[in-house]
Amino acid sequence: MLSFKIWMVVAMSFCCHGSRLENEISKKKLGEDRLLKLVSSLRDQITALETDVSYIRRKTKQSYEILKSECTPNTERQDVALARETIHHGCPDDFPLRRRKSCYRVDVKKTTCQRARENCGKMKAHLVALETEDENKFLMNIINSNKDIQHCDFWTDGTDVQMEGSWVWNHTGEALTFTNWHTQEPNNGRGDEHCMWLDWYFNWKWNDATCNHQKACYVCELQQ
């Protein structure tokens, strides 16, 4: 009988100790889970901070380039990218602007339409073809964002040299499907206006002009 009581005491002691042990193990496991969650949260925060730092570095570099361009003489600023809201991923350095599958270069060196077309061709590009309203607005935003070119007409790839009144894009021969002509244009007013430009006097609405006019800027488009 005595041995039975001793056994019962031992058993109860073992059960109590076992229960406490289970509680300790459970608390330890809970602590490990919280620690793992904390580590995971810290990793997420570090990743977010790295992203923020990368963004800040990129914006700082862009701001530096803008300030640098403002401190250079006007003749040098003309070769600086004319707008920086578009990052030129995948475009050559000579074409700092990108929209969808096209890269753009705005050149403020005034010349004739044929010479402008040849200059673009040397870079395996063509004069800009404004085929949609969105693309036209994109280029207008570029022009309006830079004070150096606000009194400059811009040659485009549009022409009706093959047939008067039948306007096409020169590099493809395709007819224009979108237009943004100024009121009562094109009118071939001088009898030899077979090239299209963006006319600054008309707030860069489209106008037909004499192709050998030597005082217009131009935009090259490189399609990828």
- Tell me the residue range of the domain where 66 lies: 1-71
DSSP output for 80-136? S-S--SS--TTS-TT--EEETTEEEEEEEEEE-HHHHHHHHHHTT-EE----SHHHH
Q: Are residues 110 and 170 in the same domain?
A: yes
Model pLDDT, residue 29: 65
Domain of 108, CATH number, reads 3.10.100.10
pLDDT number for residue 66: 53
pLDDT on residue 20: 62
Mean pLDDT in consecutive groups of 10 residues from the start of the chain, 224 residues: 49 52 61 74 74 64 55 44 50 85 90 96 94 93 80 94 95 95 93 94 93 93 88
Single-letter residue type at 106: V
Domain-embedded: residue 11: yes
- Give a yes or no: residue 29 inside a domain: yes
Number of domains within the chain = 2
What is residue 44's predicted lDDT score, i.e. its pLDDT?
Answer: 74
What is the structure's pLDDT at 3? 55
| 134-138 contact pairs (CB < 8 A, 24+) | 135/99, 135/102, 136/178, 136/180, 138/99
In a domain, 167, yes or no: yes
Supply φ then ψ for residue 31, to 5 degrees: -65, -40
Same domain, 101 and 30: no
The pTM score is 0.60
Query: Which residue among 9, 37, 71 closes a domain?
Result: 71
Is 77 domain-assigned? no
- What per-residue confidence (pLDDT) applies to 91? 84
**89 CB-contact burial (10 Å; exposed 0-12 / middle 13-18 / buried 19+):** exposed
Instruction: Look at residue 96 in the predicted model and tell me its pLDDT.
Output: 84
